[in-house]
Structures are given as C-alpha cells and as structure tokens.
Structure 1
Amino acid sequence: MSEALKILQKYWKHQAFRPLQEEIIEAVMSGQDTFALLPTGGGKSVCFQVPALLQEGICLVLSPLVALMKDQVANLNTLNIKAMALTGGIKSDQMTTLLDNCKFGNYKFLYLSPERLQSDWILERLKNLPINLIAIDEAHCVSQWGHDFRPAYLKIAVLKTHFPKTPFLALTASATPRAKAAIMEELGLENPRVFQQSFYRANLAYMVFEVEDKLFKIEQILKKNPEPSIIYVRNRKSCVSIATQLQAAGFKATYYHGGLDANEKEKNMALWIQDKAQVIVATNAFGMGIDKANVKTVIHVQLPENLENYYQEAGRAGRNEQKAFAVLLTSPGDSAQAENQFLHVLSDKKFLNTLYKKLCNHLQIAYGEGIQEQFAFNLNQFCTKYGFPLLKTYAAFQFLDRQGILTLSQEFSQKISLQFLISSKELLRYTSLNPNDAEIIYSLLRTYPGIYEVPTVCNLQFIAKKTNRPENQILALLHKLKEKEIVSYNAKNKDSLLTFNEIREDERTISKVAKRLENQNQLKHLQFKAVIQYVTQNTSCKSNFILEYFGEKTPSDCGICSYCIAKKQPKLHPELLSKKIITLLKSTDLNSREIQSKTNCSTNDTIFAIQNLLHEQKIHLTPNNKYTLKI
C-alpha cells in the first residue's frame, strides 16, 4: 500500500482515491508544477492535503473563498492536523504573531487570500517559512477569461522567484480551453503536468423544462424523487418564500442564504445534511465545501449567470454515482428578466467614476488618503442618498472588490454590548451555584476588565474560541443573565464592513481598471448568450452542449437529458393531439396540466395544440382556468 493511500485512509477514512487524485499527488511529490481541472465533487483538496502531510514543512494554500478556508481549517483541526487561515479583519500585530506560530508551531497548512500577497512584509515573512507546496485553489480567478477574474491572483507568480524549487499546484473545477491556457501562463507554471477529468457525468440527467407554474413542477419533481434536493434561487426573498410554500404543501424544507446569522445557517444546514429536511432552498451562497453524496435533484428556478457556475451547482447532484437530475425551469419572461439582472447592471467607466467619488465623499475620505481605513457601511442608505440603482451599485462594488480597490464584506454578525450589573461577590455566588456558566463568565471578565463600569463591546467569536463553546451557547447564556438582571445586554446586527485597499485618486483609481471592466463586460455578454442557447436550443443533447462549451467532444448523445428523452418519445401529429384533447373535453373540463398528463405529451406540444384549438374557436377558457368545448 502506498504512503499516500495510508494517509488518505488514516485521516479521511476513504479506502481508495478518486480518479486522477493519486496521479496528481505523485506529480506534486516529484516536485513538478501541476495543473488539475477536476469538476465539482472531484476531490480537489485531497490533492494538496495528502502530499503536504507526506513531507516536512508547510503547504501554502491560496484561495479567495473565506468561508471555504475557514471550513477546511476547522475540518483539519478536527483531524488533529494543525492549520490556520489568515482571513480579513486580522490586524498586522496579530498577523505577525500568527505567522510566528506558523513557523515555530509545527503547522502543516497556511491558508491565505491572494490579496495578502500585495503586502511586501507578508511576502518577506512567507520567505522564512518551510513551504513544501503552493496550492492555488479556484485558479480560474487568475484568467481574465475565467468567470471570476481577480487581479490579486496575478501577484501569485511572484512566489516563483522566492520559492523556485517548490511545486505549484493550480486547481479549478471549471475552465474553458482559453481560460485553462491563461491560468498556466499567468501563474508561470514550468513544464506543468496537466490533469483534466472529463466534464461528462454519465449519471447526471440535464433537464430543461419550460413551464407556466414553476412551484407546481417543483412539487411534481420532489414527489417523484423524495431523496435530498437543492433548489437554487437568485435572491433571499424567493429563498424564504419557496421554502415556506413547500412546507405548506407538506414537504420538509429549509432554506439558506447569506443574510442568515451563523447559528441559523448551521441549524438549517444540519437539518438538510442529516436528512431531516428533504430540500434546502438556497442562493448561491450555499454550496462551498458541501459534499453530500446522496443529493438526487438540483433545481434552478431562475436562469444562471453563466454555465461555469451552473455546472458547479448542478454537479452537487449524484456524487454517489446513482442517477440524479439537474433541472432548469424556465418561463417565457425569464430571458428578459435575467438580461436585466445580469447585463443591464453592468457599469461603464463613467458610472464607476461617479460612484467612487460619491463613496469617498460619503465617507469623508480626502484625496490621497483612505488606505486601510475601515467603515461600517449600509448599501441601501448610500443608494437612497445619491439616487443610485441598488443592483447596479452592488454589481459595481463587487467589481471594485475583485479588483482589490476595496473590500466589502457582509458581516451579518451580532455586535454585543455588555455590562455586569451585580457585585463581584454576588457574581461569585452565582457561578458557584451554576458551574456550567462559570467558564464563559470568567472569560468575559478576564478579556474585558472594564465590563463592570461601562457597557463594553464584546467579540462573540473570540469568546467562543477561548472557551471552546459554540456561539449560540454563549448567546443563550447572555439572554439568561439578562432575564435574571445580572447583565445589561444589547445585540445589534451590522450591515457590512468596507475597507479601502488603496488611497483615493478618483479618475486615476478607476482608469487603472477600465480595460478590465471592458473585458469583464464583454465576457459576461458572451457567457449569458451561452446560457440562453443552452435553454432555448432544441436540436442537440444538453449534456453535449455543456461538454462542448468546456472544450470536450463526445461521439454520442447522453440518452438521459430532456432533449434525448423527448427525442425517444413517440410524437403525436398535431391534428391527432387536437382530436385527443377534444375527446377528453367531451367528458369533463380540464386545465392545461391535466390535459398534458392525460395525453402524455410534452408541455410545448400540449400548449401548441391548445393554442391552435383556441384560435380555431373549438374550445375556450372558463373563469376557473379550465378548457371546455365551445357549444
């Protein structure tokens, strides 16, 4: 048995590697630069975690996804593997201490966002670490032709000069041929070994349905396939609304979006992971690091922004290799609505200049100042004050964030203000009678010495870490102490935190990224065009369409997508279908769903036949939305 397999079995309890994992590990272990394109569910993290554990030293992991970094660090620590992540909000002095710990504390993994490489002093500190492997996750971010370009990724290549003998491992789940070539060039990979798993998923049926009533279709799908499901929607309101309607219809459903606090996210996720809820309705905030093997169905209720994201989200179905379904539901107005959402919100240089100046004035940042300053920021208030359209403004902020000009982080955490009201003697008596509460109370007192004198802002996450207790347990205790009048306690939700990464230079700031803005807008138009083609074309296999988008060709159709199934179904001649509908309506009035069900024809064919019969005035629609024969 290889040493790599022993590590896999010891820590991750898998008995064998997934396709290409072992080959990638061997390439990295031989010191070669490596590019790995493993679609969703291919097990990218194992490709750098196993070789890192087989060698002395530290694996540096560069990733743009804070949530994923935290998740992987937590999982590694659970396995007694020392790992840390230097995410946003950590001050320079804390960063120095953490990097010292990393050097002398026998750590195996250091997770870092590429933006950190823009600080020369961090680069200097990294040079002193025994780095044995540099893993670049979400490597498509380095390419302007990738679907999530981040200029900070262009800085990664500088590590080649500092670590010339350390292998680079570039990992991504989706990249077109153009993006793939750009990744290897921009990262400076030297004679890289290239591993690419096929995008083909033999067990995944891609289905596109045009329907009048999406909720009804969802209910039909969930009844037919009662296994775990994910429903993706575009906004938080739809998230809660659809989950509520499914609950009312008798389904066990929960929801997940970026606006929930950490406790709600954890609770709702657990319901679904533990199969206590059949379906989780989610925005695209859901999915990073999720590896639930028995997901039967992934349903998209609205059109996706691009096929890269759609492929990753749809690919969360069927990881147990059982047949699964990736369903996209459309209605006639969806195309125009999606175009309005994805394309009409794109900024031009003029809008970006105006927005940036107004933002700096709003926050009272003088010209030539502002770098590393942080501000509590409310997007709705800002848009109302200056008359900016909300969606377009948010998209502009996302662009400025990705360009590294500023960082807009959604906090949604609770800001706790706390003061103890009883004497230390009474508090000592309370803790002796309630020993389970003592550790948290003493930790608060030690961390915030002035908490007796004045209301004090407390960091709940820090106390949770110190006491090794979950945040919800600490919150529950604070509520209890407040009810007993032991403390005064206030909690206020923050909106978001805005950090300026550069000094204010107005037009000069925006001019530096104007070409990238132009390239991004061009790419987004091309990507959206591909989505519309995927949905509307009815002349080829859906699976093959996706494969060709990612540069693959297959000799045959998949046989299980909506196109392939429709092709197999015997088609009724329109005149025969019309006669069949008239025969059915002689017995009773029917709505369009009932007609489709009884004729066993496709939605499009049924609607076409009904429209012809209406046009010929052989049937008409009753006030209760049923069709009846004209007398």
Structure 2
Amino acid sequence: MKDPLKILQQYWGHPGFRPLQADIIAAILEGKDTLALLPTGGGKSICFQVPAIASEGLCLVVSPLIALMKDQVQQLKERGIKAEAIYAGLSHQDIDRIVDNAVYGHLQLLYLSPERLQTDILKERLPKMPLRMIAVDEAHCISQWGYDFRPAYLEIANIRELVPEVPIIALTATATPEVVTDIQEKLLFRKDRRVFQKSFVRDNLAYVVRQAEGKIAQLANILQKVEGSSVVYVRSRRRCKEIAVELVRRKIAASYYHAGLEMDERSARQEAWIDGRIRVMVATNAFGMGIDKADVRSVVHIDIPDSLEAYFQEAGRGGRDGEKAYAVLLYSRDDKDRLLRNYERSFPPMEEIRRVYRALGSYLQLATGAGIGRSYDFDLAQFAQTYQLEAVMVHHCLSVLEQNGWLAVSDAVYVPAYLQVIVNKDVLYDYQLKHRKLDRILKIILRTYQGAFNHPVKLKESQLAKFLKISTKELQKGLHNMHTAGIVRYRPAKDSPQITLLRDRVPAELLSIDLPAYRIRKERHLSRIKAAIRYAERDICRSQQLVRYFGEKNSPVCGHCDVCLARKQAGLSVSEHQQLAHRLEEILIKESCSLEELISHFANVREEDVLTSLSYLVDEGFIEKDATGKLVWKM
C-alpha cells in the first residue's frame, strides 16, 4: 500500500492534509465503514480519491451530480489517474467498454449515478470487479427525512450483499443528527464504524440578513462595498439575465449562468468568472457544484432557499481560502409568502401526478409494460406545452415520481458527438468522389481524429466547424447525410436533461406512491421552510442558528454576523456577553431561579448588562420559564 501523504503531494501538489482528512483516509484503508461530515469546501473528494490510489483495486463512487462526476473524472485524468464515469446519455457501447475496463483492473475510480446500480450490466459484473471500497457522495440523499431524498440510493445497501467485505465511505456537507443516524442505518454500517464530523462553524464567513424591498439596489450597494469575486443566487432563469444586465448597467462586471444555456456558453462564462474576467456571476443553484474557486468574497441570495441545508451549502462557497467573506441573504415579507405558496404546489394531488405520468408515457411513446432502464432526452418546457400542463406543476409531479422510484431526472448533461467510419477505404473513396462538398469534411476528420476507421472518436463539432469555416449546423447536416448513407455512424452532441425510467410503464390508474411517506415528507418539508424563515426573521446569531440546526448545540456566538454587530452597538461586547452567559448557565443548571434571585448573583455587574445578556439567551432558546415562572437552563 502506498503512502497517502506522498500520493497527495505527488498528484495534487498539497504539502499536507486538511483537518480530519488523514484520519478519514486511515479509517477507510483499515477497512472500516466511515462517515465523513465536512462542510462545503472541506475537501471531501480527497478522502476517497487518495485511498483509491493508495490501495490496489477499484473505488466505486456513487454520486447524483453528473456535472460534478464529469469534472472530477476530467481532473483525475489530467493528473494521470485512471478514472471513468457512467451516466444517462452514454451509448451502450461506451458503458460496456467502461464496465469491462473496471472488471479487468484498468480503472482506479469508477463514478456512476445511483440509478445505474439497478441496471443488469452492473449487477452482473459488479462481483467480478476488483472492488476495494465504495464511496457514497452526497450521502444525505439516502435518507427520506433529508432535504434531497433519492430512492435509488437505497440500492447501495444491496451491493453489500454482493461484496460484503468491501468498506463504505459516505460523505456529505449537510446532514442533521437524524439524517446522520439514518445514513449509517441505510448503508448497513458495521459495528466498528467510524464517524468524523468537522464543526459547521465557519469563523471567516460573516452571515448577514438584510430586510430589503429594493433588492437590486441593495445588491449593487453590497457589491460596491465588498470587493472581489461574487456569486449571486436567484431562483429563476429569467431573473438571472435581468439582474446581470442591471448590474452591468451600474458598471459592475457581471454575467449570468443557468442550465438552459448552451454547453459552450456555460463553460465560457464559468471560465471567465474563475479567471477573474467576470467579477459577479448571477446564477441559479445549477452553478457552483465542484467549482474550485477559493477566493469568493461574497455570496448573495436574492431569494431565500427552502431549506437551511441548501442555504448553508451555497453560502459556504464563499471564503474557502480562509480569508474574510460575506454570506448575505436579502429578505422581504414577500419571500415568506412565496415560500409557503410554493410549498403547497410542491405536493400535488394524486390526480395531477397520474395526469403527468399518463402524458409522459405518450410523450416518450412507451407501451404499457415497457421502458425500464431506458433514458431519454427530456425538455420539460416542451413537454408541458405539448400537453397544456403548467411547467411548475410538471416539475413537482416528476419529483414525486422520482422520490417513489418510478423515474430519475438529471440536469442537462453534455455528451460529445461521436463518429466512426463503417465502410472500407474503397467505398469511402468512391463516396468522396461523388460528394465533393462532404469530401473536405471527411478529409479533415480523418486527418485530425486518428482511428476513426477502427472505433468511435469524439468530435468537437464547434472547433471542427470553425476550422472548416462553416456553421456548426452545416457541419451537423453533412455528418447526418453521411450517417443516412451508411458511410459513417454518427451521433450528434447532446446537452439536454435526461429522464431515466426505473420501472416499466403501468396504466396511470394503477400508478401508486407511498402515501404515508408522502405525507411525512410534506410535514418535514414544511418544517425546513419554517426553519429557513426563522433564520431570516429572528435576531439570534446567524452562525449559531445554522450550526445548531446541524446539531452543534453549544457553539458560541460568532461576533461578526449582523445580529452580533448590532448587539455590540447596543453596548455589550461579544466577550462580555459570553462571560455573562457562561455564569448564567452555571447558576441555572444547578437550580431554577426567579429573576430577582438571578440578578442577586451579579453584585459587581451592571444590572442592565445582565438583563441584556439574559434577553439574548431567552431569544436564543437557552433559557425559559418553568411552570412556576422561574428561569431554567433549557439545553
């Protein structure tokens, strides 16, 4: 076994591990089931990538984020590490080739989406793979009580029956104590399990909530005061563009990003932002996953997310370099009303779910009793328009079908164009003579892409078209004509969302969902919304609210959020409040007291300061009154 530290230095160029990384790696290399809770930017991927290289064999990585999988695989390949990814949209030949490479020991890491675990090819060949460990990224997705439940994750437990001796490392940035327990149970962790949790406290990140009606003016003001790179999160694609245009009008270098943009455009904007040519990126939550930019100085949310898990993850993209950064939420009363309205729409009635399911079968031209395992390009807006359905309602119905294991929906995923010449050289030459316009395209392809006669080659269509001085559409039309003529096998590039069927189609009236679980999820979703609203509306240290939500009950106030700064201005410093709070805790843990009795313990302290500190602790839920009216320490 190779030395993990030397691997880190050789392949990543880092001098040493971050806190907990070395301990997590040691545990998984010892064969122990391991759960790692590291906040956004805490270096989770290193925790399974390094041990995958340190040990002989294959690390199977399960991840729901296709874009992140592709990014990580690309980065690993650039470092000389043998890695591949399987996801919806790949051809059967590609999947077969990748799985064979895994079986014959030609890969160190194999990434796949959880839905792929249910396919026959994986079930058949998994026991033949030289598996050394299984990494489960975004592990909170396995808990139906979490905010992002994906039933396909439950399939991971079935793998353990096929390879019972292989340890599992589960990783997440956002999990409540209840979800932490659920992850271990659902993944069948063994008794000698190890759990590592880094504090959710981010000392360098100042959380701020601003009550704002004129949000654009507030946003511009923040960006003018806080220099450096910034991400601005909004809920809708339309507002992305509107806000970016308005910022540019105010002389702030900004662009926008969402999943509806063409792949080339998304990549160009992302690179411009990473390189600093664009200072501010206005984006939906499609932006940020897997982007390694440490010097983000501000993350601003124009709209409040519907859970603190989502907010904490997105806000945590600021200040990963350890320098001061700001996470700002612009909040208005309208936001609360909108969240509660969206909540009701998020859980459609059964008749609407059946209506969408029936339309989906027609849209995909699926016969009853068929479809399991098939993937299709899926344009939600076009689907909704075709069947005169409301797009938002369709989105929520698909989410319910996904949570009940009927299908899986992925965001837009870019799959490059492929081409292979399928005739011999004599037939090809004859075709070139008869089709002079296509002859030039063929000559350039054969000169540029080696091996096109022997196997499919990836085409970079936009680059090829530019070199040929024709439009991409013109190139695609020519390639399609050659495909139709049987000269080449051509598959154009794709960059669209995918829908994968996990069960055969049934008549809509026979469609069933787990109604008790559906009702529980609805209740949990409402509690998460209420927690997000409380975060915005209560004058309690923002950091303290967030980390308490994730189970850190006794964290101190941060001293630099908007609430703490307001308290300083009121005349009581953070250190003074902490000293008084500690003394109040000592007294009230021993016995309950009336207000007068409590004040009598502080003969040498201004009564005003004691009352101020006491009011903060009452607001924060540490102190409350019992049935007799006396004050008690609650925690």
Q: Which of the five TM-score ranges fits, normalised by the shorter chain?
A: 0.7 to 0.9
Letter of the 1:248 counterpart? R
CA distance in 1, matches of 2:511, 2:440: 59
CA distance in 2, matches of 1:487, 1:43: 45
Partner of 1:26 in structure 2? 26
CA distance in 1, matches of 2:556, 2:249: 43
Q: Matched residue of 1:522: which SS?
A: helix
Task: Tell me whether 1:166 sits opposite 2:166 in the alignment.
Answer: yes
CA distance in 2, matches of 1:412, 1:167: 30
Q: Matched residue of 1:511: which SS?
A: coil
CA deviation digits over 1:222-252, x for unaligned, max 9?
1111211100111111111111111111111
Partner of 2:324 in structure 1? 323
Cα pair 1:406 1:498 within 8 Å, conserved: yes
| CA-CA distance at 1:428 after TM superposition | 10
Cα pair 1:343 1:525 within 8 Å, conserved: no
- State the TM-score, normalizing by the size of structure 1: 0.80
| CA-CA distance at 1:398 after TM superposition | 2.7
Partner of 2:464 in structure 1? 474
CA deviation digits over 1:281-318, x for unaligned, max 9?
11000111112111000000001021001100000001
After TM superposition, the structure 1 = structure 2 runs for residues 64-79 of structure 1, keeping only pairs within 5 Å, are 64-79=64-79
Cα pair 2:375 2:500 within 8 Å, conserved: yes
After TM superposition, the structure 1 = structure 2 runs for residues 405-554 of structure 1, keeping only pairs within 5 Å, are 405-411=406-412, 423=433, 439-440=447-448, 446=453, 463=457, 465=458, 470-477=460-467, 480=470, 488=478, 496-506=497-507, 510-538=511-539, 540-554=540-554
| CA-CA distance at 1:425 after TM superposition | 8.9
CA distance in 2, matches of 1:414, 1:112: 15
Partner of 1:218 in structure 2? 219
CA distance in 2, matches of 1:198, 1:498: 37
After TM superposition, the structure 1 = structure 2 runs for residues 3-14 of structure 1, keeping only pairs within 5 Å, are 3-14=3-14
CA distance in 2, matches of 1:66, 1:429: 37
After TM superposition, the structure 1 = structure 2 runs for residues 68-217 of structure 1, keeping only pairs within 5 Å, are 68-104=68-104, 106-191=106-191, 192-217=193-218
Partner of 2:337 in structure 1? 336
Partner of 2:235 in structure 1? 234
Letter of the 1:254 counterpart? S
C-alpha change, 1:431 and 1:410, in structure 2 (3 Å) is closer
C-alpha change, 1:499 and 1:425, in structure 2 (3 Å) is closer
Partner of 2:359 in structure 1? 358
CA distance in 2, matches of 1:175, 1:472: 42
Identity fraction in percent: 40
Letter of the 2:464 counterpart? I
CA distance in 1, matches of 2:555, 2:59: 41
CA distance in 1, matches of 2:320, 2:237: 27
C-alpha change, 1:395 and 1:477, in structure 2 (3 Å) is farther
Letter of the 1:301 counterpart? I
Letter of the 1:98 counterpart? I
| CA-CA distance at 1:354 after TM superposition | 2.8
C-alpha change, 1:132 and 1:375, in structure 2 (3 Å) is closer
CA distance in 2, matches of 1:248, 1:187: 51
Partner of 1:619 in structure 2? none
C-alpha change, 1:381 and 1:158, in structure 2 (3 Å) is closer
| CA-CA distance at 1:148 after TM superposition | 0.7
Partner of 1:255 in structure 2? 256
| CA-CA distance at 1:253 after TM superposition | 1.0
Partner of 1:627 in structure 2? none
Q: Matched residue of 1:325: which SS?
A: strand
Cα pair 2:134 2:168 within 8 Å, conserved: yes
CA distance in 1, matches of 2:446, 2:232: 43
| CA-CA distance at 1:396 after TM superposition | 1.4
CA distance in 1, matches of 2:523, 2:59: 36
C-alpha change, 1:411 and 1:550, in structure 2 (3 Å) is closer
Q: Which runs of 5+ in 1 are unaligned?
A: 449-461, 572-631
Letter of the 1:74 counterpart? Q
Partner of 1:595 in structure 2? none
CA deviation digits over 1:576-611, x for unaligned, max 9?
xxxxxxxxxxxxxxxxxxxxxxxxxxxxxxxxxxxx
Q: Matched residue of 1:207: which SS?
A: strand
Cα pair 1:115 1:404 within 8 Å, conserved: no
Greater CA deviation, 481-490 or 44-53? Answer: 481-490
Cα pair 2:66 2:413 within 8 Å, conserved: no
CA distance in 2, matches of 1:138, 1:303: 22
CA distance in 2, matches of 1:335, 1:360: 36
Cα pair 2:231 2:281 within 8 Å, conserved: yes
Q: CA RMSD in A?
A: 3.2
Cα pair 2:432 2:439 within 8 Å, conserved: no
Letter of the 1:569 counterpart? Q
| CA-CA distance at 1:371 after TM superposition | 2.8
Q: Matched residue of 1:480: which SS?
A: coil
CA distance in 2, matches of 1:6, 1:416: 38
C-alpha change, 1:422 and 1:480, in structure 2 (3 Å) is farther
Letter of the 1:224 counterpart? K
CA deviation digits over 1:357-391, x for unaligned, max 9?
23324544343233345555443344345443221
CA deviation digits over 1:299-339, x for unaligned, max 9?
00001021001100000001111111000001231211222
CA distance in 1, matches of 2:260, 2:468: 23
Cα pair 1:207 1:325 within 8 Å, conserved: yes
Greater CA deviation, 144-153 or 370-379? Answer: 370-379
Q: Matched residue of 2:408: which SS?
A: strand
CA deviation digits over 1:82-105, x for unaligned, max 9?
111111133445433321122225
C-alpha change, 1:25 and 1:352, in structure 2 (3 Å) is same
CA distance in 2, matches of 1:300, 1:514: 34
CA deviation digits over 1:339-368, x for unaligned, max 9?
223442322333212322233245443432
Partner of 1:451 in structure 2? none
C-alpha change, 1:173 and 1:81, in structure 2 (3 Å) is same
CA distance in 1, matches of 2:73, 2:449: 28
C-alpha change, 1:556 and 1:263, in structure 2 (3 Å) is same
C-alpha change, 1:374 and 1:438, in structure 2 (3 Å) is closer
CA distance in 2, matches of 1:483, 1:4: 49
| CA-CA distance at 1:43 after TM superposition | 0.5
CA distance in 1, matches of 2:435, 2:209: 69
Partner of 1:401 in structure 2? 402
CA distance in 2, matches of 1:69, 1:492: 18
C-alpha change, 1:213 and 1:132, in structure 2 (3 Å) is same
After TM superposition, the structure 1 = structure 2 runs for residues 372-383 of structure 1, keeping only pairs within 5 Å, are 372-383=373-384
| CA-CA distance at 1:546 after TM superposition | 0.6
Letter of the 1:136 counterpart? V
- State the TM-score, normalizing by the size of structure 2: 0.79
Q: Matched residue of 2:32: which SS?
A: coil
| CA-CA distance at 1:476 after TM superposition | 2.4
Q: Matched residue of 1:284: which SS?
A: coil
Letter of the 2:54 counterpart? L
CA distance in 2, matches of 1:87, 1:509: 29
Q: Matched residue of 1:559: which SS?
A: coil
CA deviation digits over 1:474-518, x for unaligned, max 9?
342465278999975899987654443211224686424434332
CA distance in 2, matches of 1:102, 1:262: 29
Letter of the 2:244 counterpart? A
CA distance in 2, matches of 1:350, 1:343: 15
Letter of the 2:90 counterpart? I
Partner of 1:626 in structure 2? none
C-alpha change, 1:373 and 1:436, in structure 2 (3 Å) is closer
Partner of 1:38 in structure 2? 38
